[in-house]
Amino acid sequence: MIVQKTIDMTRPAALYLAAIAVLILAVFIEGRLGVRLVSRGMHLPLQRTLAAGFILTSVAAGLLGAHRYAARVKAPWRVPSSQVHLSAFAFFVLGASAVLLSS
């Protein structure tokens, strides 16, 4: 009996890396090149602190996603794909929110 012990994670991994590249590119364009990605009409109290909190939470979610990704590649029958996908989704949403808040 043939048992498949590995799982093809090439496509999700490419998606995660593309999301990370998009976020890093957005930060570079906004911070170093001075291009505003959103209008300047948004002024919230403690906006910078809020953006920093979003960034740290996003990094935590991303690291959790990378950990779950490695665990799923190692033993896909123990780690459901939702643990990886939801962590990656939280990383991207929180990171994009932080980029928009910091503009």
Partner 1 sequence: MTHPTATLIAGGVLLFGAAGLANLYLPKPAAVIELTKASEVTAPQVAAFPKRSPALAVSRPIQPPVANTLPMVFSATDRAVQSATSDPLKSLPVKAAGPPATVNSKSTTTRTTSSLLADSTQRPLAPQRPNTVPTAAVPATAPPLDADQYALSATLGDRAWIRVGDHRTIMAKVGDSIPGLGKVTAVGTNILTLQNGQTLKVTP
User: In the complex, which residues of this chain contact partner 1 (CB under 8 A)?
Assistant: 9, 13, 16-17, 20-21, 23-24, 27-28, 30-32, 34, 40, 43, 48, 51-52, 55-56, 58-59, 62-63, 65-67, 69-70, 73-74, 91, 95, 98-99, 102
Residue 65 and residue 87 in contact, taking contact as beta carbons nearer than 8 Å:
yes
Q: Which is nearer to partner 1, 9 or 93 (CB)?
A: 9
User: In angstroms, what is the minimal distance from the CB of 1 to partner 1?
Assistant: 27
Q: Using alpha carbons only, give the angle 35, 37, 40 rounded to the nearest 5 degrees.
A: 95
DSSP 102: T
The nearer residue to partner 1, 1 or 84, going by C-beta atoms, is: 84
Whose Cβ is closer to partner 1: residue 2's or residue 11's? Answer: 11
**CB of residue 44 to partner 1, shortest distance in Å:** 13
Cα 11 to Cα 93: distance, rounded to the nearest angstrom: 19
Yes or no: say if 79 and 72 are a contact pair by the CB < 8 Å rule: yes
Distance (Å, whole) CA 77 – CA 25: 35
Pick between residue 9 and residue 86 the one whose CB is nearest to partner 1: 9
